[in-house]
């Protein structure tokens, strides 16, 4: 286990005496409860037990109290001495099972809060309630497979091909013909069975179901979702070879005419994809500044960016921004948000052109590239240009596998590996390319015209929930010829490294709202409007602003204390050069035009994993424990928490 560490978390100096006393009462109460005692207590129960009163009129106390409750609920401990409370983060266990249980407890904090919400409970109960579809009554239980029936079907079919017939179905806004449910609602229901809370993902997102055609209603085997990736992960970027410093070293050791042309192209494209009409009309720029940039023009653009950034945060017209027509790109470009982003981006583009263009424009040459690499000022611009190119492509040719797993009873047959393989199949790659070959919202708003970004994926990355290992992704490789590739190659999940990252999964929505309210009251000029394009992770920014308003150490409290394993599935052989746009065409490791890819992968999985596991006694027992007879005791049913959790005892109650 890790060494203990204590962090003093007090209310800000100048807080009212009554609030300081209330916060101290809460901390003492949190300190006296054992870990098992405090599990499942709601925020309201803790607030009542500590006699904190109406927290709406005490925003500082509200933010501190809710954050403290969350920290303790997910494993932090509290000690109170004469100077105040000291919080200690949970220790990382060397024991694999103990560490998994610690992380699972942390994740259940937000998940159970979510499942207690009346709207979520109504949704779950509505999906479980039978409804008329055609000439039969249907509920979500018809999309779960009885474990005994599955076990018997496998025994009756040694090949498994008739017992389980998987296929991928994109969970869009259409209706399931077999049940009458919206596909998105089917996906959402089973997503609520995960250990962590369900959340929508900003940017690109393509949820999918893996279903079983061998059952009457095509039972759900598992879920997956491909979404916009985390923009920067050092381990992933280094493994790909496009981490900025690494790329520049390669550029220095192996310069070429091709790379010179790419650098020149990036200089021109970076500038050309920025709308400048209003900047010229308003006199921020002169036409000559675009071809012969000056330090003065760059300075004016930076000032314009800051002016409109402040106006965006002071603006009371967020509703008007959201009501702009989807494809009204100039109208979007001229909002304060995108005016600020455009001016800042153009300032950088012109600075790069002014310095780097002297070597590579109008005609890029190998000698020009070599000379530029000997100039420290130019190398700095090359670094920024490479970083910009990576930032532009990271969300288009790379995706994260944000959801991936099997549900009961299929999970006992290692169907998580099936779902992982199908999530990067030719079927999914083709569907992703078709869905996202359309104008990019941010790029089009920056350009004032429709800009279509690349939609052919080069890499799909993911992380394990547990740092102790992932049985789902471990040894998950299959021959490339299974999906039409070369027989001497393989496709699968490579381990890229380990990461101890920041996050907000250990803070509930209650805490986030309280922290945001405090930050807004303290500084009304700082706003997180959750507008697409405003920035990465609105939730993270809200928590960070609130913790800063309390004067608490944000970096320490945003560490969720989990080491995670990073995995990546490279889909092309020219990974770095295609991902950066040096190569215009991806060299796929598979045949992306295959129409029977799902069947091929499923047969591989049956022979490699499922049929072997199905012969094991403990697997049979686990499978058969999932029954659909009433009352339904099935592992794929959403575990709604009880609404009757006991409240913690107040200090006075403990004294009695």
| Phi-psi label, residue 530: left if phi above 0, alpha if psi -120 to 50, beta otherwise | left
What's the rounded Cα separation, in Å, for the pair 635 and 144? Answer: 9
**Which SS3 state, helix, strand or coil, does residue 277 take?**
helix
CA distances from 541 to 76, 483, 504, 537 (A): 22, 42, 10, 7
Lowest mean pLDDT, pick from 118-127, 395-404, 525-534, 638-647: 525-534
For 490-532, the pLDDT digits (tens) are: 999 999 988 765 666 678 889 988 998 898 888 654 454 444 4
What is the band of 538 on the pLDDT scale with cuts at 50, 70, 90? low
Could you tell me if 106 and 506 are in contact, meaning their C-beta atoms sit under 8 angstroms apart?
yes
For 350-393, the pLDDT digits (tens) are: 999 999 999 999 999 999 999 999 999 999 999 999 999 999 99
The position carrying tokens 């200089």 is 267
At 34, list the tokens: 């054992």
What's the rounded Cα separation, in Å, for the pair 381 and 358? Answer: 12
Could you tell me if 372 and 356 are in contact, meaning their C-beta atoms sit under 8 angstroms apart?
yes
Q: Point out which residues pair with 212 in neighbouring strands.
A: 166
Q: What is the mean pLDDT of the chain?
A: 89
Could you tell me if 219 and 165 are in contact, meaning their C-beta atoms sit under 8 angstroms apart?
no
Alpha carbon dihedral 419, 421, 426, 431, in 10-degree steps, equals: 30
Q: Kindly state the helix (H) or strand (E) to which residue 567 belongs, with its residue range.
A: strand 559-570
Q: Is residue 203 predicted with pLDDT exceeding 90?
A: no
What's the mean pLDDT in 407-426?
97
Q: Is residue 172 predicted with pLDDT exceeding 80?
A: yes
CA of residue 387 relative to chain centroid, distance? 21
What's the rounded Cα separation, in Å, for the pair 40 and 43? Answer: 10
At 115, list the tokens: 């499942």
The per-residue b/e assignment along 269-286, b for 16 or more CB within 10 angstroms, e otherwise, is ebbebbbbebbeeeebbe
Residue 18 is predicted with a pLDDT of 95
| Phi-psi label, residue 299: left if phi above 0, alpha if psi -120 to 50, beta otherwise | alpha
The position carrying tokens 């405003």 is 534
What is the band of 200 on the pLDDT scale with cuts at 50, 70, 90? confident
What's the rounded Cα separation, in Å, for the pair 329 and 448? Answer: 5
Q: Is residue 650 predicted with pLDDT exceeding 70?
A: no
Could you tell me if 433 and 177 are in contact, meaning their C-beta atoms sit under 8 angstroms apart?
no
What's the rounded Cα separation, in Å, for the pair 330 and 327? Answer: 9
Strand 77-81 with 84-88, pairing: antiparallel
| Candidate ranges 1-15, 26-40, 419-433, 470-484; pick with highest mean pLDDT | 419-433
What's the rounded Cα separation, in Å, for the pair 189 and 638? Answer: 7
Write phi, then psi, for 146 (nearest 5 degrees). Answer: -65, 130
At 621, list the tokens: 């027992």
What is the band of 201 on the pLDDT scale with cuts at 50, 70, 90? confident
Residue 250 CB-density burial (10 A; 0-12 exposed, 13-18 middle, 19+ buried): middle
Residue 156 CB-density burial (10 A; 0-12 exposed, 13-18 middle, 19+ buried): exposed
Q: Is residue 150 predicted with pLDDT exceeding 80?
A: yes
Q: Is residue 51 predicted with pLDDT exceeding 80?
A: yes
Q: At what angle do helices 597-605 and 426-436 cross, to 10 degrees?
A: 140
What's the rounded Cα separation, in Å, for the pair 413 and 180? Answer: 29
DSSP letter (8 states) at residue 317: -
Q: CA angle 489-492-498, nearest 5°?
A: 130
CA-only gyration radius of the chain, Å: 28
At 55, list the tokens: 């927290």
Q: Is residue 210 predicted with pLDDT exceeding 80?
A: yes
Q: Is residue 287 predicted with pLDDT exceeding 50?
A: yes
For 59-106, the pLDDT digits (tens) are: 999 999 999 998 888 778 999 998 999 999 877 666 667 767 767 777
What's the mean pLDDT in 304-309?
94
What's the rounded Cα separation, in Å, for the pair 199 and 134? Answer: 33
Could you tell me if 347 and 296 are in contact, meaning their C-beta atoms sit under 8 angstroms apart?
no
Residue 651 is predicted with a pLDDT of 45
What's the rounded Cα separation, in Å, for the pair 112 and 326? Answer: 36
């Amino acid at each position: 286990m890790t060494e203990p560490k204590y962090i003093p978390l007090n209310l800000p100096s100048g807080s009212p005496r009554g609030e300081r006393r209330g916060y101290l009462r809460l901390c003492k109460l949190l300190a006296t409860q054992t870990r098992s005692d405090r599990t499942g207590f709601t925020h309201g129960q803790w607030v009542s037990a500590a006699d904190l009163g109406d927290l709406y009129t005490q925003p500082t106390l509200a933010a501190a109290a809710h954050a403290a409750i969350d920290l303790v609920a997910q494993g932090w401990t509290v000690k109170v001495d004469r100077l105040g409370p000291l919080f200690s983060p949970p220790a990382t266990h060397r024991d694999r099972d103990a560490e998994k249980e610690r992380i699972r407890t942390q994740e259940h904090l937000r998940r159970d809060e979510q499942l207690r919400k009346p709207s979520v409970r109504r949704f779950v109960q509505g999906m479980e309630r039978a409804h008329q579809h055609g000439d039969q009554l249907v509920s979500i239980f018809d999309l779960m497979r009885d474990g005994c029936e599955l076990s018997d079907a496998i025994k009756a079919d040694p090949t498994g091909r008739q017992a389980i017939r998987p296929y991928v179905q994109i969970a869009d806004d259409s209706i399931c013909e077999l049940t009458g449910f919206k596909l998105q609602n089917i996906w959402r229901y089973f997503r609520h069975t995960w250990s962590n809370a369900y959340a929508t993902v900003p940017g690109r997102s393509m949820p999918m179901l893996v279903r079983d055609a061998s059952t009457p209603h095509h039972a759900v085997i598992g879920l997956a979702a491909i979404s916009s990736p985390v923009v920067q992960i050092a381990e992933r970027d280094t493994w790909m070879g496009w981490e900025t410093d690494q790329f520049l070293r390669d550029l220095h050791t192996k310069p070429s005419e091709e790379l010179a042309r790419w650098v020149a192209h990036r200089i021109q494209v970076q500038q050309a994809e920025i709308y400048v009409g209003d900047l010229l009309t308003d006199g921020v720029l002169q036409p000559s500044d675009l071809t012969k940039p000056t330090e003065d023009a760059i300075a004016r653009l930076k000032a314009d960016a800051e002016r409109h950034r402040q106006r965006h945060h002071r603006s009371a017209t967020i509703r008007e921004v959201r009501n702009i027509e989807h494809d009204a790109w100039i109208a979007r470009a001229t909002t304060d948000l995108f005016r600020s982003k455009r001016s800042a981006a153009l300032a950088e583009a012109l600075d790069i052109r002014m310095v780097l263009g002297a070597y590579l424009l109008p005609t890029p040459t190998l000698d020009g590239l070599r000379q530029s690499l000997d100039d420290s000022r130019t190398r700095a611009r090359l670094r920024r240009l490479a970083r910009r190119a990576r930032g532009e492509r990271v969300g288009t040719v790379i995706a994260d596998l944000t959801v991936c797993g099997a549900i009961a009873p299929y999970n006992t047959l290692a169907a998580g590996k099936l779902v992982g393989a199908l999530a990067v199949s030719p079927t999914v790659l083709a569907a992703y390319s078709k869905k996202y070959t359309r104008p990019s919202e941010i790029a089009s708003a920056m350009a004032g015209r429709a800009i279509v970004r690349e939609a052919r994926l080069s890499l799909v990355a993911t992380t394990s929930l547990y740092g102790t290992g992932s049985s789902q992704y471990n040894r998950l490789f299959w021959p490339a010829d299974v999906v039409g590739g070369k027989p001497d190659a393989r496709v699968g999940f490579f381990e890229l490294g380990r990461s101890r990252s920041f996050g907000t999964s250990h803070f509930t929505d209650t805490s986030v709202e309280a922290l945001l309210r405090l930050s807004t009251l303290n500084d009304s000029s700082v706003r997180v409007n959750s507008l697409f394009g405003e920035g990465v992770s609105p939730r993270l920014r809200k928590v960070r602003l609130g913790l800063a308003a309390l004067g608490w150490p944000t970096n320490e409290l945003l560490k969720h204390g989990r080491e995670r394993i990073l995995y990546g599935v490279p889909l092309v052989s020219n990974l770095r050069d295609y991902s950066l746009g040096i190569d215009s065409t991806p060299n796929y490791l598979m045949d992306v035009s295959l129409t029977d890819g799902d069947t091929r992968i499923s047969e591989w999985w049956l022979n490699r994993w499922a049929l072997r596991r199905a012969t094991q006694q403990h697997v049979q027992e686990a499978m058969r424990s999932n029954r659909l007879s009433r009352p339904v005791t099935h592992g794929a049913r959403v575990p709604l928490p009880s609404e009757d959790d006991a409240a913690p005892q107040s200090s006075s109650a403990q004294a009695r």
